[in-house]
Amino acid sequence: MPETNDIVVEKAQAGRPHQGKVFVAVHAHLDDVPYYAAGLCAKLMAEGYTGYLIRTSNDEKRGGQSAAKNILANEQEHQKMAAALGFRDVYDLYYQNHEMDAVSSLDLRGRLIFLFRYLKADTVVSFNPWGHGEENPDHWKTGHAVEEAAWMAGVETDYHEHAEAGIQPHEVLERYYFHGRPGQAYNRVVDIGAFIEKKIDAIVECRAQGGGNLGSQLRARLAREGKRLPLLGNDDRTADREYVREFLLDHDRDFGRPHGLTFAERFYYVDQRRPAVSKVDDYARRNAVAL
């Protein structure tokens, strides 16, 4: 497990400095990205990135209905959540929920390698593959596969048939790994204050799981009792948004407070980009003499 380096506070950049770059967020369940990284994803897209979203499980066990109805509800809400954040496209891999530890690592990794190459991903956002205290098998299975695929996507001798089909090797050199559990390492705190409304937009679409409709449920219960909470407003949409703002963003407030930020998300950030001119080429340029 990597050590936590000096913490860098990452703030929003003016303009669109990342125009032309691509990031892929990979999570296991409908509500993972909304809670762990919605602010970061909105920030990256505002700065010029094109974003794509991959969900590895089918979420069949969340939603309170039959497995088939849960799968459908989570799929539909996943599309709405992605649209709320501004992702260009969504890919669902449909591995069985809470049983991904039995999935072939080779199969999952191979599918991710294909997508990273096809989308020409520069950056990935996902679970920390070394994450301490992660009990959910779908999370750690996804995190390990993402880490491996991000490297192997750049190895030309792996899956050579991709190149024959016109999909070239493309190594993913920047990675933001979620701070998903207490005690996990992090070295990057991202200021999401300017993007908190987008994060709320994403969470309220997570109704099968994630608490997106708890506000409207509370509003309805209080109405049956002849009561109302002014916080929840006069309609269900307002109730859901204000419930999220008041009750479901405490971690983001806590993460921001030590750095003077209203809301923040934590990540373990890895940057493997190489300088435009290598150390060897630079040395040769400065020291070579004529024969």
Confidence of residue 276 (pLDDT cuts 50, 70, 90): confident
Q: In whole angstroms, what is the distance from residue 264 CA to residue 195 CA?
A: 10
Judge contact between 130 and 140, C-beta under 8 A. no
Q: In whole angstroms, what is the distance from residue 153 CA to residue 157 CA?
A: 10
Confidence of residue 5 (pLDDT cuts 50, 70, 90): low
* pLDDT tens string 109-137: 999 999 999 999 999 999 999 988 999 99
Average pLDDT over residues 226-232: 98
Q: Report pLDDT for 1.
A: 44
Q: What is the mean pLDDT of the chain?
A: 96
Nearest to 15, CA basis, from 41, 47, 45, 51: 47
Q: In whole angstroms, what is the distance from residue 198 CA to residue 208 CA?
A: 19
Judge contact between 126 and 149, C-beta under 8 A. no
Average pLDDT over residues 148-177: 97
Q: In whole angstroms, what is the distance from residue 255 CA to residue 193 CA?
A: 12
Q: Report pLDDT for 282.
A: 83
Confidence of residue 284 (pLDDT cuts 50, 70, 90): confident
In the predicted structure, residue 2 carries a pLDDT above the cut 50: no
Phi, psi of 156 (to 5 degrees): -65, -20
Buried b (16+ CB within 10 A) or exposed e, 239-263: bbbbbbbeebbeebeebbeeeebeb
* pLDDT tens string 64-118: 999 999 999 999 999 999 999 999 999 999 999 999 999 999 999 999 999 999 9
For the chain, what percent of residues have pLDDT higher than 90?
92
Nearest to 139, CA basis, from 185, 113, 183, 103: 103
Average pLDDT over residues 208-228: 98
* pLDDT tens string 32-48: 999 999 999 999 999 99
For strand 264-271 and strand 174-178, is the pairing parallel, antiparallel, or unpaired? antiparallel
In the predicted structure, residue 4 carries a pLDDT above the cut 80: no
Q: Report pLDDT for 281.
A: 84
Q: In whole angstroms, what is the distance from residue 267 CA to residue 259 CA?
A: 15
In the predicted structure, residue 156 carries a pLDDT above the cut 90: yes
Judge contact between 205 and 84, C-beta under 8 A. yes
Average pLDDT over residues 249-273: 97
Q: Report pLDDT for 3.
A: 47
Average pLDDT over residues 158-171: 96
Average pLDDT over residues 2-25: 89
In the predicted structure, residue 279 carries a pLDDT above the cut 70: yes
| 140 or 1, which is more confident | 140
SS (H, E, C) 178-232: ECCCCCCCCCEEEECHHHHHHHHHHHCCCCCCCCCCHHHHHHHHHHHCCCCCHHH
